[in-house]
Chains A and B, each alone.
Chain A
Amino acid sequence: MQLDLKKRPLGQYLSRHLLFEEWDPQGKGWAKGLYLALAQETTSMFASTVDRSAGFIRLEPTVNGAAADYTVSADPSCAKIACAGGGNLTIALDGKALLIAGEGAGLILRVRLGSGENLRETERGKEIFMGATRYIIKPVVGSVKLEVTWQLTALRSSDPVLTFTPENGKLAIEIIDSNSAYEIPEYVHTPDEAAAKAEKAFAAFAAGLPDPLLAYDLWLGLQIRRGQHLVLGNPIRDQKAYALEQTFAALPMKDAAQRIRLLSALFALATPGGLVPAWAKESAIIPEAAPPVYGAALAGLDFSGVDKAELKAFRDAFAKVTEWWFRERSVGDACFYAYPHECGLAGKPAFPAPRPCVSPDLLSYLILCCSALGEICKALGEDAACWTGREEKLAKTLLSLWDGKAFLCRDALNGDTAPAPKLLACMPLLLGDKLPGDIRKALEAAAETIAPAEYDSLLPGLAALGCPALKAKLLAAGAERADAPSAAAFDPARSALLLALQERS
C-alpha cells in the first residue's frame, strides 16, 4: 500500500514523529516541501508561539552539497527519497526514534522555533529544547554543521539550520523524541530494521479491517495523551482527543475488549463527578459535556469473552459517566441538554433561550448506555434491574416526544415543545428494533432528506448504523471526504466511521 505524503503523513501508532509533504493546497503561503512535525502542543512560556501547522523542520535533500530535486515514495513502514542527482535517503520510525540513512545524498534541516525555545549542541547531539520535549538530532555517519544565533531581547534563537554532509557517500542520522529526563526507550538503529518492525505492527492492527488506508489513518491517530491511548483529531493540526471521536474510533474494532479499552481510556479522563470532557489534550481538558454516544459502540457486543476484572472496572467507569447525566441533567424521567453544544452540533440550539432541553437524540444515546450497562451486568452475573428500569423509563419519555410525524424537543422546566433539528430528530434510528416500526419507517424517510452539508459532522454516521439507505449515501460521500486535501487534514475518526460502515454493509 502506497502513501501519498501530501494527503497523510508517515507516522506510527503512539509515535509523535510525522513526515509529510506540504503542498499548500489552500494557498496560505507555506513553503512547499518535505517536513517533519511533532505531535505535541506548543508549550512556550509566553503566548507568541510559532504556528506549526506546516511542520517545524523542513527537510532539503542535497547532492554534492547543493539542494537537489527529489521524488518521494512511502508506505506505512518507511519513506524513500530519490534525488535527481542520483542519491537517495530512507526514513523510518521506531517509536521515539526517527532514522535516516542516505547513499550519495546529504540533508539540510531548517528548524522553526518558538519563543523561549532553543537548539544547542550538547553531548547528546544537536538538541532542541521545547518545553518538556528534548528533540535530539545526531549524525551517526557523516558530519553536521549548525548555524544559529541567540536573539537576546526576543528570548529566542534564530531559526537554526543543520547541514548534514555524508562521509564516503554515506549518511546516517538518528532523531530522538525525548523529554527533560532524557528517557529514551530501546530502538533499532537502521531504517531497514525500523521499517520491518513498523510493517509488522501495522499489519497486525489492520488485520481484518476492510480498507488498509483507512485503517492506517486510525492507526496513526492513536497517541498517548494524559497517560491514555486516545485518537487525536489530527496529530499534525489538532492535538485534542475528542470524546465523540473515541466512540467512532471504537466502532470498527473487532472485539468487545478492544472497544472497551478505548472507551475506558476516554472514561479515565472524566472529572471526579463523572463528566466526560468534550475534549482533552495534554495541558487541559474542557469541562463541558459531549453527547454520550458510547452505547453505540457497545450495542450487540458479546461481553462473555472479556476478562471479568477488566469488564467490572469498565462497568464501574461506564456507570459513573452515565450517572452524571442522571444526576446533573435530569428532571423526572427525562434527561436534558443544559447547553446547545452538548448535542455535538455547533449552532443547533433547539431553544435559543437559556433553557434546558429534552432532546430525542440524548434520550436515545442514554437508552443505549443503559442497555449496554444492563448487558454488562448480566455478563458479570449481576442484577441489571437498575439499568433496564432506567432504559424503560427513558424509552417512554422518548415516545412522549413523538408527535406522530417527528420527534420534538421539550423545555425541561415548563414543558413547551418545539421541532427538533432534523438530524437530531433522526438519531433515534440508532435504537433499531427498539423503536416501533412506524416511527422507524418515518425516521428512515426523514434521514434520507438530511442535507449532505450535515455529513461534515460525524453524527449522521451514527444514525446510518441503523439506516441502510443513509449508510449507502454516507459511504459514497465519505470516500470523498476521507481523501484529505492535505496531510494536516486527514481525519482518523472519519476514517474509523467509514471502516465501520463498510464492515456493516
Chain B
Amino acid sequence: MFGTSERFDLTHAVYAREGSAFFLIENYYSHLLQLSSFKPGAWMMSNEFVFTLRTFQGGREIPYSYKGDPGSMLLNLPAGSLEIIFTYNEYFRVSGKDGITLRLEAAPYRAGGRAPEACHGICTLPDGTTELTYGTYGKLRFRPLKGSISVCAPMKGDGSEYTALTIDLCPDESGELDFAVHEDMIEVGNLPDSYPSVETLKQDGFDRYADFQKNYKAPAKGFEQLFKYATHTVWARRVKPTGIYQSPMILMHYEYLGECFAWQQSFNGMSMMGNPKEGWRQICALFEYQDEKTGQLPGNVGYLTKNAGIQPPIQGFALKWLIKKCGDSYLTPSECERMYPKFAKWAEFWVRTRSAGRGDDVTAINNPNDSGWDDATIFQDGFPTINPDLIAFMVDLLDMTGRLADGCGKTEEGKRWHDRSQKLFDTLISEFWDGKKFVTFHNGKPVDSLSAACYQPIILGDRLPQNIIDRCCEALTEEGGLLTEIGIASEDIRSANSNYGTGTFVHGRVVAPVQLFLCAGLNLAGKKKEAAMIARRFAAQSQQKGCILGFPPRTDTYLATGKPVYITPGPVASDGWPWSSWNACSNLTLITCIIPEGEEA
C-alpha cells in the first residue's frame, strides 16, 4: 500500500498497524525510514525516541527501497531483502536471510533534535538481551533469535550523555537474522518463551485489517482507492486495550498528535455504518474515562494519561446519525441502562459549567476548544461567546439522552430531556438565526463572521424549518463563496480574514470535519444531492492527495486581499499537515453514505 514506488510513500503518510505502538515514516530529507512509537505522546514531531533505519551487506551500506502492506514492511536491497513485521503485541520482528544487517541509528526527525542524547542508558542483561532506556519515552529490548547485536554508543567526556547511538542487528553465519524488539513505557516484563512464526504474524495483520473493513459499508464507485487507504489509516491507528486504554480507540496521528482525541471517537463511530454496534461502542469508548464526580469527559486520551481539556459534546449528534442510517438495534435496554446515566452526566456537565446564566440550557464558552472551531472568525471579538454551533450539539445531546432514558424504560425522564431539547432548539431558531445565517454572540452583540461555523446547526437536519434549510444549502453551495473546487472552506474565500497559513486550522482551509458536519447536516435535512456534490469534491481531493486533515482552497493569492498564500512545504505532508484518521473517518462517512445516497436520490 505504501512504498517507494507505490501510490503514496511515507513522506506524507505513516506506516503502522492496529495494536502496535511502532510506526515508520520516510524522512523527508534523507529518504530513509525512521522508526518510533506513539506511546510517549510526544506531539508535534517533538519525539526524540526515533531511529533511522539503515541496511548493510558485505560490510557496506546499501540503499533500500521499501513496500509496506498490512502484514509487513519489506526493505528491498539489490541482493536480498529484510522484513519488519509489526504485531498486535508489544514487539516487532525483524527477519531476513540474505546476510543483511539492519542498523537502528538514533537520529532526530529534523535538525536540532536530541535523539542520541535522549537515550538514558544501554545495558546487556544476563539473559542475553540488550535494553535501551529512554526515560519517559520508554524502553526498547532487543532479543536475538538468530544473529547477534552490536552496539556503538560513544559518550561525552564527562559521561553525561551519548553523542551517537547505533544498534546493529547482525545476521548469523548463515546470513539469517531474526530479532524480536520489545517496547514498554514502564518495564519490559517477562519475555515470551516462544514467538509465532513470521508468516503467522504477517497473516494476522491481513486478517485483522480485512475484518476491520467490515465495519464500513461499501464505498461509492470510483472511491475504492480512498476507501482502502482511509480504512487502513483508521485501522492502523486503532489502539488495543493497553496502558490506560480500556477498549479500542482511534489515535488522531502517530507522529503529530499521537493520542485519541475525544470528539474524533464519535466521528469514527458515525462512519462505522457497516457495523453500527461497533460504531456505538466507539462513541461510548470515551465515557470509560468520564469523571465520576463532574461528568466531564477528557479532551484526549493518551497511552498513560488523559487530558483535562474539553472537546465539544458531539455524542448526541453521532448517535442520532447512526440511528437515522442504521436503526437502533444495538440500543438494547441494558445498553441504554448502562449509557443513559453517562450521557445525562455529560449533558449536565455542559449545562452546569458552561451556563450562559439565563436560567435555561443555553451555554456560553470561554475557550475555542469547547466549540471545536478553534481559530474561526466567530471568536474574533473574544470571549465569552454564545455559539449556535455548540447549541446545536446540545440540542442533539439532550434529545439522545432522552432516547437512552426511553430505551431503558425511564419514559418520564426521557420526556423531560426531549422537552429540554425542544426548548433549546426553539431558542436557537428564535434568537440565533438572523434570516441568513446562525450568529454567534459576544457579550450580547452579534459577531460579524463569514465562517462556515455559521451554518453548522444544519446538523439538526429536517428538524429545522425549511426556509433555514434552504438558506443554509444556498450558502454552502455558493461557488466562490464557501464552496470551492475541493469542498467547503472553513471561512468564505472572499473574506478578508481568510488565512490558509501553516499555523491556522479553521480560518479558511478546507478541513475534513467541516465537510463531515455540513454534508451530514444537508443529507439529514433532505439536501442529499447537494451534500453528495460537496462530499465528492473533498473525497476526490483526498483520494488524490491523501488522508490529510485539511487543504488550502487556493495556493496563489487570497481573493479578498490579493496577498500571496504561503504554504510551507513541510517534512511530513504537502502543507505541513500529516495523514490523519480524522480525515479518514470523515471521508469514510462521505464515500460510504453521503455520496451514494445523494447520487442515488
Task: Let me know if A339 is at the binding interface, CB within 8 A.
Answer: yes
A339 and B377 in contact, given A284-B304, A346-B160 (Cβ under 8 angstroms): no
Q: Is the CB of B123 within 8 A of A287?
A: no
Q: Determine how close the nearest CB of chain B comes to the CB of A19; give it in whole angstroms.
A: 26
**CB interface residues, A 141-160, toward B, < 8 Å:** 148-150, 152-153, 155, 157
Q: Are B123 and A338 in contact (CB under 8 A)?
A: yes
Contact with A along B524-550 (1 / 0, CB 8 A): 000000000000000000000000000
The interface residues of chain A lying within 8 Å CB-to-CB of B496 are: none
A344 at the B interface (CB under 8 A): no
Complex Cα distance, B5 from A141, in Å, reads 72
Report A334-362 CB contacts with B as 1/0, cut-off 8 Å: 00001111100011110010111000000
User: Given the complex, which residues of B lie within 8 Å of A273, measured CB to CB?
Assistant: 186-187, 189
The answer to whether B126 and A149 touch across the interface, beta carbons within 8 angstroms, is: no
Choice from A153, A182, A354 contacting B124 with Cβ under 8 Å: A354
Query: Is A47 an interface residue when CB atoms closer than 8 A count as contact?
Result: yes
Question: When A131-B308, A149-B382, A153-B499 are in contact, do A284 and B136 touch as well, CB less than 8 Å?
Answer: yes
Q: In the assembly, what is the distance between CA of A129 and CA of B377, in Å?
A: 21
Complex contact A339–B123 (CB within 8 A): yes
Does A413 interact with chain B (Cβ within 8 Å)?
Answer: yes
Nearest CB in chain A to that of B160: its residue: A347
Given A123-B357, A153-B503, does the pair A45, B383 have CB atoms closer than 8 Å?
no
For B125, the chain A residues whose CB sits under 8 A away are 338, 356
Query: Does chain A have a CB within 8 A of B210?
Result: no
A129→B384 CA distance, assembly (Å): 13
B513 within 8 A of A: no
Binds B, one of A114-122, A309-317, A439-447: A114-122
The chain B residue with its CB closest to the CB of A346 is B160
CA distance A340 to B139 in the complex (A): 16
Residues of A close to B380: CB separation below 8 A = 150, 152
Cβ of A228 within 8 Å of any chain B Cβ, yes or no, is: no
Cβ of A418 under 8 Å from chain B: no
* A275-B159 contact in complex given A338-B125, A413-B126, C-beta closer than 8 Å: no
B381 contact set on A, CB distance < 8 A? 150
A182–B299 CA distance with the chains assembled, in angstroms:
18
User: Which chain A residue lies CB-closest to B442?
Assistant: A150
CA distance A182 to B349 in the complex (A): 12
By the criterion CB–CB under 8 Å, are A341 and B507 in contact? no
Residues of B within 8 A of A275 (CB): 186-187
Chain A residues with CB under 8 Å of B507's CB are 152-153
With A45-B369, A347-B160: A152-B44 Cβ-Cβ less than 8 Å: no
Bound complex: CA A148 to CA B383 (Å): 10
Complex: A368 Cα to B353 Cα, angstroms: 53
Task: Assess whether A354 is in contact with B123, with CB atoms less than 8 Å apart.
Answer: yes
Q: 0/1 per residue, B367-381, Cβ < 8 Å to A? A: 111000011010111
A354-B130 contact given A46-B44, A275-B186, A341-B120, CB 8 Å threshold: yes
Q: Is B225 an interface residue (CB 8 A)?
A: no
Tell me if B187 and A271 are in contact (CB < 8 A). Answer: yes
Given A153-B499, A275-B187, A288-B135, does the pair A354, B375 have CB atoms closer than 8 Å?
Answer: no
CB contact under 8 A between A152 and B135, given known A120-B384, A284-B304:
no
Cβ 8 A contact of A339, one of B121, B294, B383? B121
Q: How far is the CB of A143 from chain B (nearest CB, A)?
A: 19
Given contacts A284-B305, A340-B159, contact A356 B123 (CB under 8 A): yes
Set of chain A residues within 8 Å of B189, measured between Cβ atoms: 273
| A45, A47, A153, A412: most-surrounded residue (chain B CB, <10 A) | A153
Residues of A close to B122: CB separation below 8 A:
339, 354
Residue of B nearest to A149 (CB): B382
| B residues 474-513 touching A (CB-CB < 8 Å) | 499, 503-504, 507
Contact with A along B126-147 (1 / 0, CB 8 A): 1000110101101100000000
Given that A45-B299, A181-B296 are contacting pairs, would A352 and B126 also be in contact in the complex, using a CB cutoff of 8 Å? no
| A347 / chain B contacts, CB cutoff of 8 Å | 158-160
B307 close to A45 (CB less than 8 A): yes
CB distance from B53 to the nearest CB of A (A): 21
Q: How far, in Å, is A333 (CB) from chain B's closest CB?
A: 14
B46 proximal to A (CB < 8 A):
yes
Q: Determine if B139 and A287 form an interchain contact, defined as CB atoms under 8 angstroms apart.
A: yes
Which chain B residue lies CB-closest to A44?
A: B309
Taking CB as reference atom, which chain A residue is nearest B384? A120
Q: How far is the CA of A272 from the CA of B116 in the complex (A)?
A: 29
Contact of A283 among B133, B151, B305, B504 (CB under 8 A): B305
Contact A352/B504 with A180-B294, A339-B121 known, Cβ cut-off 8 Å: no
B43 within 8 A of A: yes
Does B366 lie within 8 Å of A122, measured CB to CB? yes
Cβ-defined contact, A180 with B308, below 8 A: yes
Q: Is A287's CB under 8 angstroms from B185's CB?
A: yes
Complex partner residue of A352 from B135, B155, B368, CB under 8 angstroms: B155
Interface residues of A in 218-277 (CB under 8 A from B): 271-273, 275
Query: Is B324's CB within 8 Å of the partner chain A?
Result: no
Q: With a CB–CB cut-off of 8 A, which chain A residues contact B155?
A: 349, 352
Measured between beta carbons, the chain B residues less than 8 angstroms from A349 are: 155, 159
Closest partner residue, chain A, to B131 (CB atom): A338
Q: Does B153 contact A (CB under 8 A)?
A: yes
Alpha-carbon distance between A46 and B44 when the two chains are bound, in angstroms: 8
Contact with A along B183-200 (1 / 0, CB 8 A): 001110100000000000
Contact, CB under 8 Å: A155 / B159: no
Q: Is B426 an interface residue (CB 8 A)?
A: no
Picked from A47, A129, A352, A355, the residue with its CB within 8 Å of the CB of B44 is A47
Tell me if A43 is interfacial: C-beta within 8 Å of chain B: yes
Check A385 for interface membership: any CB of B closer than 8 A. Answer: no
Q: How far is the CA of A122 from the CA of B356 in the complex (A)?
A: 10
**B123: A residues at CB distance < 8 A:** 338-339, 354-356
Instruction: Give A116 to B503 CA distance when docked, in angstroms.
Output: 14
CB pair B43 A46 closer than 8 Å? yes
Instruction: Say yes or no: A47 contacts B499, CB within 8 Å.
Output: no
A413 neighbours in B (Cβ, 8 Å):
124, 126
Question: Is B293 in the interface zone, CB < 8 Å from A?
Answer: yes
Say if the beta carbon of A132 comes within 8 Å of chain B: yes
**Would you call B291 an interface residue if the criterion is a C-beta within 8 Å of the partner chain's C-beta atoms?**
yes
Residue of A nearest to B44 (CB): A47
Contact mask for chain A residues 101-141; partner B; CB cutoff 8 A; 1 contact, 0 none: 00000000000000010101011000101011000000000
Bound Cα distance A410, B187 (Å): 25
Given A47-B44, A153-B503, A180-B294, is A118 in contact with B383 using a C-beta cutoff of 8 Å?
Answer: yes
Q: Of A180, A272, A413, which is in contact with the most chain B CB atoms at under 10 Å from its CB?
A: A180
A286 within 8 A of B: yes
Q: Chain B nearest CB: distance from A279 CB in Å? A: 10
Q: Does A479 contact B (CB under 8 A)?
A: no
Write out the residue numbers on chain B whose beta carbons fall within 8 Å of the beta carbon of A477.
none
B374 contact set on A, CB distance < 8 A: 155
A96 to B118: give the CA distance in the assembly, Å: 37
The list of the 7 closest CB pairs from A to B, nearest first, reads A339-B121, A132-B308, A150-B382, A354-B122, A347-B159, A338-B123, A347-B160
Selected A-B contacts with CB under 8 Å, 27 pairs: A43-B308, A45-B309, A47-B46, A116-B369, A122-B384, A131-B309, A149-B382, A152-B380, A152-B507, A153-B499, A153-B503, A155-B375, A180-B294, A180-B308, A181-B291, A182-B353, A271-B187, A273-B187, A284-B136, A286-B135, A287-B187, A339-B133, A346-B160, A347-B159, A354-B123, A356-B123, A412-B126
Q: Report A's interface with B, CB cutoff 8 A.
A: 43, 45-47, 116, 118, 120, 122-123, 127, 129, 131-132, 148-150, 152-153, 155, 157, 180-182, 271-273, 275, 283-288, 328, 331, 338-342, 346-349, 352, 354-356, 412-413
Known pairs A152-B380, A181-B294. 7 more at Cβ < 8 A? A153-B499, A155-B368, A275-B187, A285-B136, A288-B133, A354-B122, A356-B126
